[in-house]
Structures are given as C-alpha cells and as structure tokens.
C-alpha cells in the first residue's frame, strides 16, 4: 500500500491526483478517503487567487501523519541525539549521508571542527554510544593519529567529522566530552556548510 506520507513532493502528489486515479486503491484507507474527498472538491479551473479551492490550495492543506507501524516515517529521515557538555540532550532529524559534525554546526551544537573535517585536528572529538560504535566503519590510521591528541580519550572516542549517518545509525547517541582541545582562540564560530 502507498502511504500518504510517502507522497514526497507536491508535483508527485499532483500527478497522482490528476492523472493516476487508478492508484487510489493502493493507498491506505485513511489516505484513500482524504484523496477521494480532495478530488471531489476540485474545480476544473486552473489554480488562481480567485479560485481558493484549486488543487494547489488543497495540496497545501495536506499534513503528514505521525509515524505508525503500518506507515513508518520517511526512509531517509534519521534521528541523532547529542548529549551536551551540561548533560542535556538535543535530538535532531538528519538525512542519510549527513556528517555528524556538520549536522551539529547546523543545529548550533558546540562541536568545533577547526580543520573542517580534513583530519588535521581533534576538536570534533566525541563519544559514540557503545550500542552504535561497532556499526561505524573502523577509524582510519589518520583518524587514530588525531584521536591520540584528544583529551579524555576513551574506547568509544571518534572524530565526529568522520561519522556519516545511514539507516544503521538511526537513533545514535553522541556525547560531547567535558573538555576539548580548542584551536579557535579568537572567538571564531564555525559556520554550517
């Protein structure tokens, strides 16, 4: 069955609604009911400001449903929890292929990353939850060399710039160390890429 939440783009939704009514039987019952209702409200006129019930205005009213076992959240949507230096947790949504360090910068989480991921420092040192540690590819020799410089090194230490998210890492927990080797001494704040 096709889940309404998986209608990823409005253009795909528009195509389904207008040119593929034969796909309606493949929708889940709640989605089928909603689409049938929307189809019955469509007017033949093209979308315009004078036609508030146009297809585009109806599509803008669609909201994703909460995840359920019969219709899980988007396959590319992953969760990562950062445990900050003060012990508070910040959970963010990520996509497959996101880099843990750059994702932290994007969400204003204090991971420095002075070398911007070029394996020339240890300022993005983090601790990986032991449950997930073996799911990450082994560190390279270059990463191990940089980790040797990290204060408070542990068995589950990694450089966050070298952790790339995939489905196996959904729900990973990353702990920021109490102290780091800080190379930015002039108040520089890394900008998200």
| pLDDT tens digits for range 158-178 | 999 999 999 999 999 999 998
Q: What is the Cα–Cα distance from 96 to 169, expressed in whole angstroms? A: 9
pLDDT band at 114 (very low <50, low <70, confident <90, very high): confident
Strands 89-95 and 77-83: antiparallel
pLDDT band at 179 (very low <50, low <70, confident <90, very high): confident
Task: Of 62-71, 152-161, 184-193, give the range with the top mean pLDDT.
Answer: 152-161
Burial class (CB within 10 angstroms; exposed 0-12, middle 13-18, buried 19+) of 45? exposed
Which of 165, 157, 160, 192 is CA-nearest to residue 80?
165
Q: What is the Cα–Cα distance from 183 to 164, expressed in whole angstroms? A: 23
pTM above 0.75, yes or no: no
Q: What is the Cα–Cα distance from 32 to 59, expressed in whole angstroms? A: 14
**142, pLDDT greater than 90:** yes
**94, pLDDT greater than 80:** yes
The pair of three-digit structure tokens given for residue 97, joined into one six-digit string: 């292929």
pLDDT of 169 = 96
């Amino acid at each position: 069955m096709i889940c309404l939440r998986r209608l990823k783009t409005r253009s795909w939704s528009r195509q389904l609604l207008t040119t593929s009514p034969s796909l309606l039987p493949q929708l889940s019952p709640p989605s089928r009911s909603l689409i049938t209702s929307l189809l019955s409200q469509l007017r033949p006129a093209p979308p315009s400001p004078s036609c508030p019930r146009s297809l585009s205005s109806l599509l803008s009213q669609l909201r994703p449903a909460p995840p359920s076992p019969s219709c899980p959240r988007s396959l590319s949507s992953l969760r990562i929890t950062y445990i900050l230096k003060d012990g508070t947790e910040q959970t963010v949504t990520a996509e497959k292929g996101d880099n843990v360090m750059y994702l932290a910068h994007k969400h204003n989480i204090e991971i420095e990353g002075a070398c911007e991921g070029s394996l020339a420092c240890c300022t993005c040192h983090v601790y990986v939850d032991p449950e997930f540690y073996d799911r990450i590819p082994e560190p390279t020799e270059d990463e191990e060399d940089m980790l040797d410089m990290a204060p408070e090194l542990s068995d589950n230490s990694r450089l966050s710039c070298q952790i790339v998210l995939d489905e196996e890492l959904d729900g990973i927990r990353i702990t920021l160390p109490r102290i780091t080797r800080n190379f930015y001494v002039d108040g520089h704040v890394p900008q998200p890429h």
